[in-house]
Amino acid sequence: MSQHSTIEWTDATWNPVRGCTKISPGCKHCYAERFAERFRGVRGHPFEQGFDLKIVPEKLAEPLNWKSAKHIFVNSMSDLFHEKVPLDYIRSVFAVMNVAKQHQYQVLTKRAERLEELNQRLPWAPNIWMGVSVENEEYLYRVDHLRRTSAFVKFLSIEPLLGSLGKVDLSGIDWVIVGGESGPGARSMNEAWVKEIRDQCLRAGVAFFFKQWGGGQKKKAGRELEGRTWDQMPELVTISSSCAMTSTQDVGTAAAGSRVAAF
Ligand code: SF4
């Protein structure tokens, strides 16, 4: 949990859940697992139990105490929709996001099926951005699950990109992040795969963020694509609780056509 994050597309991380289990090829070199397992058995350390899944209720209220507005990556060290996280607890996390409205929350999951299954039971708010991870063409079905949710802002984290995605249906999607894998054993990413996604985002008017090339020397490889950085973010959906808009369709209509804001 940190008020400051080095992740390029967020300001802070908040981990009311710790630990996870691997579910697809994108998890192979999971950074969170590598980090957590270093501390297994270290008494008193937050990751004393390594990467075993654990809910952390004492961390629930943390964003309420952060006064300045931030983009907060929810569960950078876990997956909120993991099957072992009880629905009531997920609802508590959503309740905090509804109360601490000064922030924008970026929730990311690979458990897209469970996300859709629980969708109707979650109190969505405009400041809750919901994303799914997709690493190759085989997992594009996660985007369909996301599309069917009531999230106001929907995004894709295509990291680590492990192959060409081919044609991606970007309807209803507000933001796409692409990145290569970094660290020991990093799998390489082809420039053509990145450009293929970037071009589809440009055509569809979807904000595009290129995070990094990755590889063994991530800093050296940098994050420029065709001579520039791509730091687009979705336009914020600003709706007060007294707003006359009552459905996600209304919000979607209002936001359509001008989804991209370059920071
Ligand atoms: S879903 Fe995310 S946190 Fe969980 S093992 Fe995979 S990469 Fe790691």
20 lines ligand 1 (CB under 6 A): yes
Q: Is the CB of 23 under 6 A from ligand 1?
A: yes
Quickly state the pLDDT bin for 19 (edges 50, 70, 90): very high
Determine if ligand 1 sits within 6 Å of the CB of residue 30: yes
Q: Please state the atom number of ligand 1 nearest to the C-alpha of residue 20.
A: 4
Q: Is 32 in the pocket of ligand 1 (CB under 6 A)?
A: yes
- How far, in Å, CA of 137 to CA of 158, rounded? 11
Residue of 7, 15, 24, 27 to test ligand 1 pocket, by largest number of atoms within 8 Å of CB: 27
Measured CA to CA, the distance from residue 60 to residue 15 in angstroms comes to 8
Q: Whose CA is nearest to atom 6 of ligand 1?
A: 27
Q: Which pairing describes strands 232-234 and 260-262: parallel, antiparallel, or unpaired?
A: antiparallel
For residue 3, the model assigns a pLDDT of: 66
58-262 CATH pick, 3.20.20, 2.20.25, 3.80.30, 1.20.910: 3.80.30
Whether 17 is in the pocket of ligand 1, judged by its Cβ within 6 Å, is no
Instruction: Please answer whether residues 99 and 130 qualify as being in contact, where contact means their C-beta atoms are separated by less than 8 angstroms.
Output: no
Query: How does pLDDT run across 111-144, given as a tens digit for each residue?
Result: 999 999 999 999 999 999 999 999 999 999 999 9
Q: Give the number of other Cβ atoms within 10 Å of residue 12's Cβ.
A: 20
What is the chain's mean pLDDT, rounded?
89
What are the structure tokens assigned to 51, written together?
A: 């990467």
Instruction: Measure the CA angle with vertex 101, ends 111 and 87; round to 5°.
Output: 30
Q: In ligand 1, which atom is closest to the CA atom of 78? A: 3
Q: Which 3 state secondary structure label does DSSP give 112?
A: helix
**pLDDT value at position 139?**
98
pLDDT tens, position by position, 54-85: 999 999 999 999 999 999 999 999 999 999 99
Cα(261) to centroid of ligand 1, in Å? 29
Over residues 22-31, the pLDDT tens digits come to 999 999 999 9
Is residue 168 predicted with pLDDT exceeding 70? yes
Ligand 1 pocket member 79 (CB < 6 A): yes
Ligand 1 contact, 110 CB (< 6 A):
yes
Give the global pTM.
0.88
Task: Give the nearest ligand 1 atom to 24 CA.
Answer: 6
CB-based contact 185:31 (threshold 8 Å) = no
Q: Please tell me the predicted confidence (pLDDT) of residue 221.
A: 84
The whole-number pLDDT of residue 8 equals: 83
Ligand 1 pocket, residue 33 CB under 6 Å: yes
CA of 258 to the centre of ligand 1 (A): 32
Domain map (residue ranges) of the chain: 58-262
> Which pLDDT belongs to residue 237?
61
Query: Which range has the worst mean pLDDT, 35-49, 116-130, 234-248?
Result: 234-248
Q: Over range 39-59, report the average pLDDT.
A: 97
54: CA distance to ligand 1 center in Å? 14
CA of 105 to the centre of ligand 1 (A): 18
